[in-house]
């Protein structure tokens, strides 16, 4: 040991080595090695020690004015005593301070260190003093290799846990955390008897793999943040008192499950899902009291379960609920009929529990409201309500549409007297590129249980038959469906003529094409022959000539959502369009009414029903003493040039694509491969034209 400008008094007392540095000493410098395995060193001045680890007990104790410099290094047991502030420093190796076995401060000790610095305690920790009272930094991290204890009556600026075996609060606890408690790994085991205090406006940060056993004592407000990869269940960091939690930021990837009713009073940030119902018998409520909307990190993020908002806007402000697409809006306070809080329980992938619920979209929606947070408000409101659901065609796990035709879907409310009742103000749903479908009702007059489903009551339908010349197989007297057998028909009509005439084309989609379907086909409805206003309905053409809905069986469903076809019916010119056959249209309007839903409009038997009559169709066979008429094949350029006219381009394109396989316009016989048969069809029909326009 080398000593400069100091006077050492060495006492051997009961086997302990005590080095006492007199008050006038300025520095203890050791460039060698101090062996302190069984002794105790009391430093009353400053010390500079080059060795990395100092065993035994080391006490920094000073009660005079000014700071006492503390050498940063690895200690076995270290204590801080006395009224002089302890300033961590290291001018030798830029080391950290580590307490291997124990860390202790007395009630007057003040420990100060720089921004970003961490004191590591790997064993028993008793803190009765103050760490960085006036600074916005100063961390103590519990990072032992086995379970460790923590206690004391002092104040931590920031306390951290990074110990897989966790830490126990013992001996009544009592310490304060003034800024942040951050739990990286392990369980922080506090209890009602052994607890600690989170100061006002402090924060608890919890990572996946860490936990807080019991609710701390909260001075007043606290904020909570979740981080990491994986799922979490909310623990002691969530206050039970409804006015304590200010900001709740969920940034872990796997979502959070509630373990109690939770109220957020300021910012609610959802980077992943919140699940309010841990099991089938337990329901909690997430409440948001702020006038600001919750922040959803993405469209896929949502609150699965019950979400209540207690601040209502009455000025047409959109109030978000369980996801970005679910909202409520009131235009005035009168529209709310006294309602001051609103709660939505939304369960994705869950059929409504009422009778007939399994025929709906797989999304349960219950809405409740209260005046003054206690008196139920069930009716007499005028609310705009937006809703969404996952629409992932072909995914049996995440798709909620349940194979239903999206444009037909409406919001429905369940009543004991009438069952599911349609909302007459539901808009035609839309979809986006993020696998969601969504819609809104401009007027919701009563709360309760809701579903998204096909309209109940009478439905106007249209039943028709037609044959495609190219697909007709004379020996079978039916159309072939090779495209379907080869899996070439797309599950959504492609963006080509005539499918792109239908504004609802993208919503016309199936998980899989039904058996025996020949191809997609389009029906067009006009109130007069030259009317610019036309309604379209895309469906399937079956092998037997029937034009059917997306289930491959039912007649085509008509409704106001299809462009204005009233459920009461009317007289319409009806056109039939296909991607590589000449379109046809009725010569006169035909009546489509409730009393005609059983009528089959068979264009294969009576070409005289069509504009152009026999010239509009082509005889392709003879069955049951009558000629079979079909739409003329060979037109692959209707949406590009020469619409409705078979010309040189049609058969030239066929020759140039010979032997190609796929879902192709030049494949006039719909066999899945372009051959000379397709060329011959177009050549033989050259000069023919459509009479639809």
Q: Pick the residue with more confidence: 632 or 29?
A: 632
pLDDT over 90 percentage in the chain:
70
Question: What integer pLDDT is reported at residue 8 of this predicted model?
Answer: 36
Q: Give yes or no for residue 507 having a pLDDT over 90.
A: no
Question: What integer pLDDT is reported at residue 639 of this predicted model?
Answer: 56
Q: What is the pLDDT of residues 49-61, one digit of tens each?
A: 888 899 999 999 9
Q: Give yes or no for residue 450 having a pLDDT over 50.
A: yes
Q: Give yes or no for residue 185 having a pLDDT over 50.
A: yes
Average pLDDT over residues 359-383: 95
Q: What is the pLDDT of residues 372-402, one digit of tens each?
A: 988 999 999 999 999 999 999 878 889 999 9
In whole angstroms, what is the distance from residue 525 CA to residue 257 CA? 51
In whole angstroms, what is the distance from residue 42 CA to residue 40 CA? 7
Give the pLDDT band (50/70/90) at residue 7: very low
- pTM to 2 decimal places: 0.79
Q: Give yes or no for residue 24 having a pLDDT over 70.
A: no
Q: Which residues contact 433 (CB under 8 A, 6 or more apart)?
A: none
CA distances from 283 to 258, 272, 326, 347 (A): 9, 19, 20, 12
Instruction: Please state, rounded to an integer, the average pLDDT across all residues of the chain.
Output: 90
In whole angstroms, what is the distance from residue 159 CA to residue 212 CA? 13
Q: What is the pLDDT of residues 201-260, one digit of tens each?
A: 999 999 999 999 999 999 999 999 999 999 999 999 999 999 999 999 999 999 999 999
Question: What integer pLDDT is reported at residue 188 of this predicted model?
Answer: 98
Strands 410-415, 379-390: pairing is unpaired
Contact 631, 614 (CB under 8 A): no
Question: What integer pLDDT is reported at residue 11 of this predicted model?
Answer: 32
Q: Give yes or no for residue 33 having a pLDDT over 90.
A: no
Give the pLDDT band (50/70/90) at residue 360: very high
Average pLDDT over residues 3-11: 34
Nearest of 490, 605, 657 to residue 668 by alpha carbon? 657
Give the pLDDT band (50/70/90) at residue 557: confident
Question: What integer pLDDT is reported at residue 25 of this predicted model?
Answer: 37
Determine the angle formed by the axes of helices 676-684 and 648-656, rounding to 10 degrees.
170
Nearest of 327, 322, 293, 325 to residue 305 by alpha carbon? 322
Q: Pick the residue with more confidence: 16 or 287?
A: 287
Range with lowest mean pLDDT among 15-19, 184-188, 327-331, 427-431: 15-19
In whole angstroms, what is the distance from residue 203 CA to residue 52 CA? 34
Q: What are the domain boundaries of the chain?
A: 460-485+492-633
Question: What integer pLDDT is reported at residue 93 of this predicted model?
Answer: 78
Average pLDDT over residues 89-97: 84
Average pLDDT over residues 613-637: 90
Question: What integer pLDDT is reported at residue 638 of this predicted model?
Answer: 66
């Amino acid at each position: 040991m080398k000593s400069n400008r100091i006077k050492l008094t060495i006492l051997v007392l009961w086997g302990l080595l005590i080095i006492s540095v007199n008050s006038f000493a300025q520095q203890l410098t050791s460039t060698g090695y101090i062996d302190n395995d069984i002794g105790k060193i009391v430093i009353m001045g400053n010390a500079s020690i080059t060795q990395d680890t100092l065993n035994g007990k080391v006490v920094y104790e000073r009660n005079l004015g000014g700071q006492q410099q503390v050498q940063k290094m690895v200690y076995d047991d270290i204590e801080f005593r006395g009224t002089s502030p302890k300033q961590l420093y290291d001018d030798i190796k830029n080391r950290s301070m580590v307490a291997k076995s124990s860390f202790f401060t007395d009630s007057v000790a003040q420990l100060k260190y720089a921004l970003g610095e961490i004191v590591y305690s790997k064993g028993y920790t008793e803190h009765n003093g103050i760490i960085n009272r006036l600074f916005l930094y100063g961390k103590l991290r519990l990072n032992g290799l086995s379970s460790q204890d923590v206690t004391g009556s002092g104040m931590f600026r920031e306390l951290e846990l990074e110990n897989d075996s966790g830490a126990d609060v013992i001996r009544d606890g009592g310490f304060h955390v003034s800024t942040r408690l951050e739990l990286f790994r392990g369980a922080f085991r506090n209890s009602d008897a052994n607890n600690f205090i989170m100061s006002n406006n402090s924060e608890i940060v919890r990572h996946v793999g860490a936990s807080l056993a019991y609710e701390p004592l909260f001075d007043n407000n606290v904020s909570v943040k979740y981080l990491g990869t994986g799922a979490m269940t909310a623990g002691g960091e969530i206050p039970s008192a409804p006015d304590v939690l200010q900001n709740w930021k969920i940034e872990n990837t796997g979502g959070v499950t509630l373990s109690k009713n939770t109220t957020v009073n300021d910012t609610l940030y959802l980077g992943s899902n919140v699940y309010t119902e841990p099991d089938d018998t337990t329901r909690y409520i997430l409440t948001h009291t702020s006038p600001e909307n919750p922040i959803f990190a993405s469209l896929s993020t949502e609150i699965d379960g019950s979400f209540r908002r207690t601040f209502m806007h009455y000025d047409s402000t959109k109030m978000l609920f369980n996801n970005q697409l679910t909202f409520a809006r009131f235009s005035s306070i009168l529209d709310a009929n006294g309602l001051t809080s609103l709660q939505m329980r939304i369960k994705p992938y869950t059929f409504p529990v009422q009778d007939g619920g399994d025929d709906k979209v797989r999304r349960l929606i219950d809405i409740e409201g209260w005046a003054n947070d206690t008196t139920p408000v069930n009716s007499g409101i005028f609310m705009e309500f937006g809703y969404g659901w996952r629409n992932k065609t072909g995914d049996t796990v995440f798709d909620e549409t349940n194979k239903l035709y999206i444009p037909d879907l409406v919001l429905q409310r369940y009543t004991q007297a009438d069952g599911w009742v349609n909302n007459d103000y539901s808009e035609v749903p839309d979809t986006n590129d993020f696998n969601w479908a969504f819609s809104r009702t401009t007027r919701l007059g009563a709360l309760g249980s809701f579903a998204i489903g096909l309209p109940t009551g009478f439905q106007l339908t249209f039943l028709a038959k037609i044959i495609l010349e190219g697909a007709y197989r004379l020996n079978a007297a039916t159309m072939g469906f090779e495209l379907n057998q080869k899996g070439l028909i797309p599950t959504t009509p492609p963006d080509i003529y005539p499918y792109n005439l239908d504004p609802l084309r993208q919503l016309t989609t199936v998980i899989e094409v039904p058996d025996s379907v020949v191809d997609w086909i389009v029906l067009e409805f006009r109130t007069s022959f030259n009317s610019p206003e036309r309604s379209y309905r895309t469906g399937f053409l079956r092998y037997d000539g029937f034009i059917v809905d997306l289930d491959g069986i039912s007649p085509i469903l008509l409704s106001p959502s299809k462009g204005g076809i009233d459920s009461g019916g009317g007289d319409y010119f009806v056109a039939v369009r296909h991607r590589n056959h000449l379109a046809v249209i009725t010569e006169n309007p035909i009546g489509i009414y409730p009393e005609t839903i059983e009528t089959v409009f068979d264009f294969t038997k009576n070409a005289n029903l069509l504009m152009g009559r026999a010239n509009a169709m082509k005889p392709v066979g003879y069955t049951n003493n009558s000629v079979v008429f079909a739409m003329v094949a060979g037109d692959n350029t209707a949406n590009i040039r020469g619409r409705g006219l078979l010309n040189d381009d049609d058969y030239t394109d066929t020759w140039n694509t010979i032997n190609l396989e796929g879902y192709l316009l030049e494949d006039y016989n719909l066999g899945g491969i372009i051959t000379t048969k397709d060329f011959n069809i177009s050549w033989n029909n050259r000069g023919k034209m459509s009479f639809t326009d």
